[in-house]
Structure 1
Amino acid sequence: MRGLTRQQIEHYRREGFVAVPSLLSEEDIRLVDASTAELAEETDAERIADVFEFEHEPVDGKRVPRRLYNPYEQHENFRKLAADERITDRVVSLIGPDLALQHSKLNLKPARVGAPVDWHQDLTYFPHTNDDLVAVLIYLDDATERNGCIEVLARRHRRFLDHTLPDGTFAGRITEDLDEERYGAPVKVEGTAGSAIFLHPLAPHRSAKNVSVERRRALIYQYRAADAFPIYTGPHVVDVENCAHHIRGERSPVARFGGPQPVIYRPDGHPKSLYQLQEMSQK
């Protein structure tokens, strides 16, 4: 097994995340590039809208994509990578041998316009019966503060933070004051292409707008223990579960309950992505 080291596991448990350098090779990244380019060749307008989400700001007069929806569903190469033991062995170190893929996405963060992502906790979007989930965020380009690397509030993954607007609707972002005196300074997790961040589902994180001339792509696989089951918060859960897949080990016939008691938010409407939900709540 290529599991995490004891020190890495301890760091994850204590801080809510751990960074692993050189998880993927240059060849792996070239394969992802080729698969994404193949999907971008789609010419049907309806089909392309189901595959890519676009930035609001054009670059040189052209629309640029900011997200590839559900890459696992779109191409065999993404399915192979989701089950790659270099990734899943390390996930097993954190949440046990029986794994499912909860969802996947590829954030493209293009140069000069790559949209920001506000502070949030992943598990507020998809509460489960326990918190044994982990996101594996793999940088496909060198990630720096200027091009919008991930920032994490360390040691704040023990409880749900407030994500509601004054009228009680789900904002998709943390709405309580995250002053540094109380919560500490964010950790900017920079990394070279191929490095990965293993992120607890309650670790608050964000990324700034890409103000550089370099893109900053990140492939994200969200895994869950086989006995972590989604809690129904609306019909969108059914759509998400259609993209969930058992990956490794045994399936579980029972749900396990544990972790912080989840706050149950019901989104207003059916935004297709975190970007859209946060933009709606900002208005």
Structure 2
Amino acid sequence: MPRILSPQQVEHFYEFGYCAPVDVMSEDEAHALKLRVEATEAVYPEDLSPTNRNNPHLAFKCFDEIAHHPVIVDAVSDLIGPDILLYGSVLFFKEPRSAGFVSWHQDGTYMGIEPHTFVTPWLALTPSNVELGCIKVIPGSHKGGILKHHDSFAKDNILTRGQAIEDIDESAAVDLVLRPGQISLHHARTVHGSMPNRGDQRRLGVALQCYMRPECKQVIGENLVQVVRGCHELSGYSILNRPVEDMDQVAASERERANANWAKILYQGASQVRAY
């Protein structure tokens, strides 16, 4: 039986490619976590800058706690089973009245992970609504294959290559509005994106990209993962540690290794390479 998700939510995920909202923590708990995140930003501004936003869970305790939060992991387990690996994490922070956006795309396009059975939760630490640039999804888009993407390298596109799918019927889009402390979950092939933040407050979101079964393998770069639950018999993976302290020597080194691996994977065949 599901631990967190109802049978209807599980069915909705597999039918439409997403599930939202899912309660993970109270708004007060989310606010306290937000304050910890902002305090960590203040101490390590370069290590958590917009061009250094990948895999913070490997080096910072506050993001590690998010990545291993039992409610998030239980919700993922409801979808993919008891053996769970974590591939990475990405910060999606939008400043007030900023131009940054995320073009329509599918996570499975450039991540180098096969098969596409992985799941990405997205945790809101602040309100995430239409004004602030919440995630939008195209329901049912996960049922086909990977669609053609083009690399735009647009200045304000938050994605690495500015990868974008053209000719999306945006009238079908659904806004995933979340309160602080809620997550959305989406499938590897679900078409999604988000608009700029037109509001007066920051929109802070953490994508856990992604949780996967041991059957999933990295086919371009190294298989660098954390074990989150189960997975007692593994082969072909390099297992990364959880941080003991913020930016401890091992943690900082492993984050650097993971980010270099990601750059190799995400920019494979690209005409240019950006700083993130």
Give CA deviations for 1:80-121 in whole Å, capped at 9, x if unaligned. 232222111110111111111111122111111151111111
Whether contact under 8 Å (2:56, 2:63) holds in the other structure is: yes
On the 8 A contact 2:12/2:18 being kept in 1, the answer is yes
What residue number does 2:150 align with? 164
Indicate how the Cα distance of structure 1 residues 114 and 225 shifts in structure 2: closer, same or farther if over 3 A, else same.
farther
Question: Structure 1: any 5+ residue segments left out of the alignment?
Answer: 55-66, 256-263, 274-283
CA distance in 2 between counterparts of 1:251 and 1:186 reads 40
**Counterpart AA for 1:29:** A
Residue 205 (structure 1) aligned with residue 195 (structure 2) = no
Distance 1:165 1:143, change over 3 A: closer
Equivalent residue of 1:148, what SS? coil
Which position in structure 1 is the counterpart of 2:274? Answer: 271
Give the CA RMSD over aligned residues: 2.6
Q: Deviations over 1:43-99 (max 9, x none)?
A: xxxx74333116xxxxxxxxxxxx743220232232223222211111011111111
Alpha carbons of structure 1 residues 133 and 92: separation in structure 2 relative to 1, 3 Å? same
Structure 2: distance between partners of 1:223 and 1:25 = 23
* 1:51 counterpart SS class: coil
Is residue 91 from structure 1 mapped to residue 57 from structure 2 by the alignment?
no
Aligned residues: 236
Q: Is 1:3 matched up with 2:17?
A: no
Q: What corresponds to 2:38 in structure 1?
A: 37
Q: Which amino acid aligns with 1:73?
A: L
Unaligned runs of 5+ in 2: 153-159, 237-266
Partner Cα distance (1:268, 1:247) in 2: 35
1:145-178: CA deviation from partner (whole Å, max 9, x where unpaired): 1110110011011210101359xxx954234321
In the other structure, the counterpart of 1:223 is 211
TM-score by length of 2: 0.76
C-alpha change, 1:203 and 1:265, in structure 2 (3 Å) is farther
The equivalent position to 2:226 in structure 1, one of 245, 248, 264, is 245
- Structure 2 distance, partners of 1:265, 1:162, is 16
CA distance, structure 2, for counterparts of residue 231 and residue 49 of structure 1 = 31
Between the aligned partners of 1:161 and 1:87, the Cα distance in structure 2 is: 29
- Using structure 1 for the length normalisation, give the TM-score: 0.75
